[in-house]
């Protein structure tokens, strides 16, 4: 094996696990990193931390009734046992992550 081929092979193995993350929307990446431990990957709130904090499903009737602005405000200011994310996420990141939450809602 000559050198360039070997480095290409090493680079492919090293970056391969990152490819699925790169293919996701920025909102999905933020959600999985910061929100899914309570809200669950599918938005159902059924993780152990979600159950402990009584995290409702994003598809619960009372959450489906909330406007986009209310969801953004809950993310910025926190709500009940949920921490506030203003200062931790930019306004753009909050907009993206709430857009991703809408894709998890079953209406
Ligand atoms: C520590 C657990 C926890 C984490 C982490 C968390 N949440 Fe929450 N979230 C909650 C709980 C609990 C509620 C319900 C609060 C209430 O109604 O008292 C909630 C409510 C919400 C709501 C309002 C809708 C509703 O169900 O009442 C939105 C929107 C939301 N979370 C978005 C997010 C986003 C976006 C993130 C990540 C940036 C996040 N949450 C991270 C626990 C969490």
Taking only the tens place, the pLDDT of each residue in 30-56 is 999 999 999 999 999 999 999 999 999
Kindly tell me if the per-residue pLDDT of 73 is higher than 80: yes
| CATH number of the 25-104 domain | 1.10.760.10
**Does ligand 1 come within 6 angstroms of the Cβ of 81?**
yes
- Whether 82 is in the pocket of ligand 1, judged by its Cβ within 6 Å, is yes
Per-residue confidence (pLDDT) for residue 19, from 0 to 100: 63
Q: What pTM was estimated for this model as a whole?
A: 0.84
Nearest CA to ligand 1 atom 13: 55
The angle, 0 to 180 degrees and rounded to 10, between the axes of the packed helices 91-104 and 68-77 is 120
Q: Which residues pair with 82 in a beta bridge?
A: 79
Query: Helices H, strands E: what count in the chain?
Result: 8, 0
pLDDT-derived band at 63 (thresholds 50, 70, 90) equals: very high
Structure tokens at 52: 């402990």
């Amino acid at each position: 094996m000559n050198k360039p081929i070997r480095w290409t092979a090493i680079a492919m193995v090293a970056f391969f696990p990152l490819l699925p993350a790169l293919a996701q929307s920025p909102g999905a990446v933020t959600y999985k990193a910061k929100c899914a431990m309570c809200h669950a990957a599918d938005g159902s709130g059924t993780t152990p931390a979600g159950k402990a904090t009584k995290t409702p499903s994003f598809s619960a009737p009372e959450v489906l009734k909330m406007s986009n602005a209310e969801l953004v405000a809950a993310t910025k200011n926190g709500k009940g046992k949920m921490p506030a994310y203003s200062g931790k996420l930019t306004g753009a990141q909050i907009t993206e992550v709430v857009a991703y939450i809408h894709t998890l809602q079953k209406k």
